[in-house]
Chain A
Amino acid sequence: QKEVEQDPGPLSVPEGAIVSLNCTYSNSAFQYFMWYRQYSRKGPELLMYTYSSGNKEDGRFTAQVDKSSKYISLFIRDSQPSDSATYLCAMSGTGSGGYQKVTFGTGTKLQVIP
């Protein structure tokens, strides 16, 4: 079993829909949770960064962490064709000042249809 599981999709939605992207994980030591967006033939771009449980909102994007269920989500409101990309979740453990291994999901491909 992989430490981080992410449905590869593809996920196709109409423009304006609310999108929900999810990851599950098995390592209870994970404390930092990230979402990256990767456009085709580009490098991953950090979208959201959260620590521990709870919600974080940034414009149309909301990241949610439920540590009790080992489940994280990224919600995109009013989705736009420009949101079409692959979304990768990532997570790491505690301990500042030293190297922390970051574990990535394999990514969910999202297509927003105009």
Chain B
Amino acid sequence: DAGITQSPRHKVTETGTPVTLRCHQTENHRYMYWYRQDPGHGLRLIHYSYGVKDTDKGEVSDGYSVSRSKTEDFLLTLESATSSQTSVYFCAISFRGDEQYFGPGTRLTVT
């Protein structure tokens, strides 16, 4: 998985609770991304980062926030989890911004 780890790998949480997912890379790539993958929708971009403290929204950013205080770490926070945020979350990294390499994913269930 190209030097990318995600934690936790599985999480079950209750509606209304905050949740933070972590992505860690050892490749020193500039770009980092958070996607969610759902049946029938494919991969949808939530947020991305193009450098330390430089982030921007993707197509499905409502209800999510991100932070990147170090090159190697990109955090995704669900401020108040809802059942519609039950999904598989993937982190990806890229050197130039086109080829992306994905982590192993986090399965999140919101009950």
- B50 on interface, CB distance cutoff 8 Å: yes
* Cβ A42 vs Cβ B98 within 8 A: no
Q: In the bound complex, do residue A44 and residue B99 qualify as a contact, i.e. CB atoms below 8 Å apart?
A: no
Q: Is the CB of B83 closer than 8 A to any CB of chain A?
A: no
**Cβ-based interface call for A66 (8 A):** no
Quick one: CB contact mask for A84-110 with B, threshold 8 Å, 1 for yes? 000010101000111111101111000
> In the complex, which range does the number of interface residues on chain A fall in?
20 to 34
The size class of the interface chain B forms with chain A is: 20 to 34
When the two chains form their complex, are residues B31 and A99 in contact, meaning their CB atoms are under 8 A apart? Answer: yes
Q: Which residues of A (17-38) have their CB < 8 Å from a CB of B?
A: 32, 34, 36
Q: Which of A66-95 contact B (CB under 8 A)?
A: 88, 90, 92
Residue B97 CB within 8 A of the other chain? yes
Q: Given A44-B90, A92-B98, A99-B56 in contact, is the A104-B104 Cβ separation under 8 Å?
A: no
In the complex the two chains form, what is the Cα distance from A45 to B101 in whole Å? 7
Most A CB contacts (10 A, CB to CB) among B42, B45, B50 go to: B42
Query: A44-B90, A106-B41 are known contacts. Are A49 and B99 too (CB-CB below 8 A)?
Result: yes
| B104 & A42 in contact (Cβ 8 Å cutoff) | yes
Q: Which residues of B contact A98 (CB under 8 A)?
A: 50, 97
B51-96 contacts to A, CB under 8 A, are: 56, 90, 96
Complex contacts, A99 vs chain B, CB 8 Å:
31, 48, 50, 56, 97
Chain A residues lying within 8 Å of B103, measured Cβ to Cβ, are: 43
Q: How far is the CB of A7 from chain B (nearest CB, A)?
A: 13
Q: Is the CB of B97 within 8 A of A34?
A: no
* Chain A to chain B contacts (Cβ below 8 Å), 11 pairs: A43-B1, A43-B104, A88-B43, A92-B98, A97-B96, A98-B50, A98-B97, A99-B97, A100-B98, A102-B45, A106-B41
Which B residues are closer than 8 A to A by beta carbons?
A: 1, 31, 40-43, 45, 48, 50, 56, 90, 96-105
